[in-house]
Chains A and B, each alone.
Chain A
Amino acid sequence: MAESDALAEFRRTLRGWLAGNVPPPPPFKLPQTFLEVETEAQFRWLQAWQQRLYDAGYVGFDVPEEYGGRGIDPARQAIVAEELIEARAPFLVNFIALHWAGPTILLFGTEAQKRRLLRPLLRADEIWCQGFSEPGAGSDLASLQARAVQQADGSWRVTGHKVWTTVAHFARWMILLARTEEGVNKYASLSYFLCPMEAPGVSVQPLVKLNGEGGFNQVLFDDAPMPADALLGERGQGWNIAMATLMFERGAAERGGKERAAAFFAQLGALVAVAERTPLGAGTVAEDPVFRQRVAALWVEGQAIALSAMRASATALNAERPLALPLMSKLVASEWAQRLAELACEMLGPEAALSLEDPAAPFGGEWPRAFMNSFGMTIGGGTSQILRNILGERVLGLPKSK
């Protein structure tokens, strides 16, 4: 497929810009994804990168220009995503904002909300976090307990306990799900807020992940005030809006198959590099027939996942079962990435035990770190089990599991 001249030119210019602007690695260890941003130094460095990319005109191809975006342009958006991976550019730190909160605000926000919030979101001037989960309400999200009570002047006060809140320690805003209504069912009593994190009564406490990294938190609300216009959509509409956010989060929204393909190529290429560079006996892992079979299997499965992400937008072809590909994409991609990291660790043998701190750790100790972090993707945003329930019930029409 030949790209139009204009797009090819865009790609060329972007490539040139990236060649001159992707920063060299900082003197400190960077997190692997937006889920693990821990220190102020990491955050500032990543924020500066997103700001620079935005200022160069490469962020916001899914947001109209009047809100600070570059206008809706999926082709350019896909090119940017591909080239960022190709150039091994740092990730964009305001990930939750760009991919989940932003699209939700665009769908449900008032004109004033969109004008106020979207530009600083795109530029990473204001970071967003997501306050859905609570200690007692993870998979069963609708049973959450945080309460928001409307005051006489129309403003709100919120009390509750959110947990596993990624990037809350740097966030200016939270997409917050709280209970607002009495006497209706658990779904209809929820509302969706754009909650300012700087309010009195909001406190953020870091949590430590299994591999020792930080990046997520618990957030306590003690009668914290929110202005009247913090409400997104209507009162009681929170569940439906949250479902839209979760669709974005699970990759159900048509977000580039080519982007998925580029990510797949990067991950598999990294695995191949481990095999080729890890000594085994007189040769390398890449010469071992059993490891070769296992890499081949991951190649096939990854290729299938990348092609399926592309096929998701060939709607005529998927008429028999339109929801299958969108609803399965996070499930299969996260489980695949987990198997890939596991296999890389297997290849490293005893040295898979070496952590980031050991200067002799192969590949900087990134693989055991990646394997541990891969569980963030199979748990966060709906666990693999919950996604299988959803696929079984919504796509196969099996009876509900109670």
Chain B
Amino acid sequence: MQPRSPLPLLPLPPADFGYSEAHAQIQASARRWLAEHASAAELRRLETDPVGYAPSTLPALAELGWLELGCPADGAMDHLSVALLAEEQGRRLLPSPWASTIVAAALLAQAGTPEQRERWLPPLVAGQATLSVAFQEPRGVWHPEQLRSRAVRQGDGWQLTGSKLAVAWGQRADALLLPTRSAEGLELFVVERGALEVVAEATIDSTRRSARLGFTGLELTERERLEPSAAGAALGGALRLARLLLAAELVGVSEAVLALTRDYACLREQFGKPIGAFQAVKHPLVDVLTELELSRSLVLSAALACGGPDEAGADTLVAMARWHSAEGALRAVQHGVQLHGGYGFTKDCDVHFYFKRALASRGLLGTNVELGAELARRLFGGS
């Protein structure tokens, strides 16, 4: 009907979305394990816990094989499995540094020196150490080229100055991965937590803790520096993975809120019938359903593209997945609170956990406005 402009071609998933029997099993076993080990009661118990997750969690996840997914021996990550697991954990809000640790593992596996990999990956895979990548800086900075943390050569070593925030589980991580910029470009360092000024952030979301980091004139040696030649690609890959995990988790958040609210709408009666019979209740729940199914298609396609050859295409799909699932989850939790009425406004109702996670995730690694601008650049070019 109209003259049309060419669109960027994005990678398409195979007809079966690469979903194999093995994936079905991972999903089923994750569901079983989570049903047993992750509950709202546990979330309530952990709210006041200084650590924020059970000490038994990481070794258990190691046992399940979830941690090694971040740094597979052959280097080929199964992004689909990772995304499926992230969604399942999002449904239960399992508090654990799993996601942040596998992102760090992927980064270290790709750009770490042999010595660094040897030092950190085995305990990490065993669930005995956690790492976290400090992507985010003040003033909304996360883009590798805009980082304000500086690394300056000092004789044989380096001096680092800068600050980070919203570092997932940073207050407990054994080591932090610090992206910085030097005169030569991007520099990554792996630093033990004790060397940094670490302050636990007091956030609304007790199920995923985070920290602020500060470092002024921090002296480091070459041994803490990751391979500079691999740094850019590795950090790009880690960002992609972190965004994918966030997106998948947020689909899980929407699923959980939908299930809670749907059940409540069947039980709670007003005016002599279950409130779910009112279309003003029913239709918003359907909108939550359709949005999350649409998000899921983007998340799965993005996961499949992450393993493929078209990196720009994968970046675009991941940005779309992250945009869409953040949008959907925030709407899901709002309906979740509203449709539970006065009960939804209390901490007795589980929805508040999800509400907080959706809100706290929304601004991470790019707001939706930034993602929108990023996507528009792919469509139209320009700034």
A residues within 8 Å of B by Cβ?
A: 1, 32, 261, 265-266, 268-270, 272-277, 286-287, 289, 292-293, 295-297, 299-301, 303-305, 307-308, 310-311, 313-314, 316-317, 321, 324-325, 328, 331-332, 363, 366, 370, 385, 388-389, 391-393, 395-402
User: Is B273's CB within 8 Å of the partner chain A?
Assistant: yes
| CA A370 to CA B3, docked complex, whole Å | 15
A-B contact pairs, 25 of them (CB 8 A): A1-B14, A269-B4, A272-B380, A292-B372, A295-B379, A296-B372, A299-B7, A300-B324, A303-B10, A307-B297, A307-B301, A310-B12, A321-B293, A324-B293, A332-B290, A385-B279, A388-B283, A392-B282, A392-B286, A396-B262, A396-B285, A398-B266, A398-B282, A399-B273, A400-B277
Kindly list chain B residues whose C-beta atoms are within 8 Å of the C-beta of A301: 294, 324
Instruction: Establish whether residues A292 and B3, one from each chain, have CB atoms under 8 Å apart when the complex forms.
Output: no
State the 7 A-B residue pairs at the shortest beta-carbon distance, nearest first. A269-B4, A292-B376, A270-B2, A304-B294, A398-B276, A307-B297, A392-B282
Contacting chain A: which of B16-24, B125-133, B145-153, B343-351? B16-24
The majority secondary structure among interface residues of chain B is helix
The answer, yes or no, to whether B41 is at the interface (CB within 8 Å) is no
The CB with the most chain A CB atoms within 10 A, among B282, B287, B298, is that of B282
Given A270-B1, A273-B4: A332 and B294 interface contact (C-beta under 8 Å)? yes
> In the complex the two chains form, is B289's CB within 8 Å of A316's CB?
no
Chain B CB within 10 A, most for which of A325, A328, A398:
A398
B373 adjacent to chain A (CB < 8 Å): yes
The answer to whether B285 touches A307, judged by C-beta atoms less than 8 angstroms apart, is: no
Partner of A292, one of B4, B10, B298, B373: B373
Contact (Cβ within 8 A) B17 A311: yes
Q: Give me the interface of B with A, judged by CB distance under 8 Å.
A: 1-7, 10, 12-17, 19, 24, 258, 262, 265-266, 273-274, 276-279, 281-283, 285-287, 289-290, 293-298, 300-301, 317, 320, 323-324, 369, 371-373, 375-376, 379-380, 382
* Docked complex Cα distance between A385 and B282 (Å): 10
- A388 with B286: CB separation less than 8 A: yes
**Do residues A317 and B262 form an inter-chain contact, with CB atoms below 8 A?**
no
Q: Is the CB of A266 within 8 A of B376?
A: no
Report yes or no: A269 in contact with B7, Cβ–Cβ below 8 A.
yes
* Smallest CB gap from A291: residue in B: B376
A317 CA to B262 CA, complexed, in Å? 22
Most buried by A among B285, B379, B382: B379
B380 in contact with A275 (CB, 8 Å): yes
Q: What residues of chain A lie closer than 8 Å to B301, measured between beta carbons? A: 307
Complex alpha-carbon distance, A391 and B323, angstroms = 25
> Smallest CB-CB separation from A277: which chain B residue?
B3
| Cα–Cα, bound, A328→B286 (Å) | 9
**Contact at B262–A299, with CB atoms within 8 Å?**
no
Contact of A324 with B289 in the complex, beta carbons under 8 Å:
yes
A400 to B274, CA, bound (A): 10
| B30 to A: closest C-beta gap in Å | 13
- Check B2–A293 contact: CB distance below 8 A: no
The reply to whether A399 and B276 form a contact with Cβ atoms under 8 Å apart is yes
Tell me the nearest residue of chain B to A369, going by C-beta.
B1
A32–B293 contact, CB under 8 A?
Answer: no
CB neighbours (8 Å) of B258 from chain A are 396
Q: Is the CB of A286 within 8 A of B285?
A: no
Is B2's CB under 8 angstroms from A363's CB? yes
Q: When the two chains form the complex, which single residue of B13, B16, B369, B379 contacts A307, counting CB atoms closer than 8 Å?
A: B13
The reply to whether A269 and B5 contact each other, CB–CB distance below 8 Å, is yes
Identity of the chain B residue whose Cβ is nearest the Cβ of A276 in the assembled complex: B5
Query: In the complex the two chains form, is B298's CB within 8 Å of A307's CB?
Result: yes
Best-surrounded residue of A261, A274, A293, A385 (most CB of chain B within 10 A): A293
A304-B298 contact in complex given A296-B379, A310-B15, A400-B277, C-beta closer than 8 Å: yes
* B277 pairs with A304, CB closer than 8 A: no
- Asked if B286 and A292 make an inter-chain contact with CB atoms under 8 angstroms apart, the answer reads no
CB distance from A388 to the nearest CB of B (A): 4
Contacts of B375 in A (CB 8 A): 296, 299-300
B5: chain A residues within 8 A (beta carbon): 269, 272-273, 276
A266 to B285, CA, bound (A): 31
Q: Which of A317, A366, A385, A391 counts the most chain B CB atoms within 10 A?
A: A317
A185 to chain B, nearest CB (A): 21
Residues of B within 8 A of A402 (CB): 277
User: Which residues in B have their C-beta under 8 angstroms from that of A270?
Assistant: 1-4
| A293 and B369 contact, CB distance less than 8 A | yes
Cα distance A325–B382 when bound, in Å? Answer: 36
Note all chain A residues with C-beta closer than 8 A to B4: 266, 269-270, 272-273
CB contacts (< 8 Å) of B277 on chain A: these are: 398-402
A332 to chain B, nearest CB (A): 5
**Residues in B neighbouring A397, C-beta threshold 8 A:** 262, 266
Q: Is the CB of B24 within 8 A of A316?
A: yes
Q: Are B7's CB and A272's CB within 8 A?
A: yes
Q: Which chain B residue has the least Cβ–Cβ distance from A315?
A: B16
Residue of B nearest to A309 (CB): B297
Chain B residues with CB under 8 Å of A401's CB are 277-279, 282
Q: Nearest-CB distance from A323 to chain B (Å)?
A: 11
Contact yes or no, B283 A385, CB < 8 A: yes
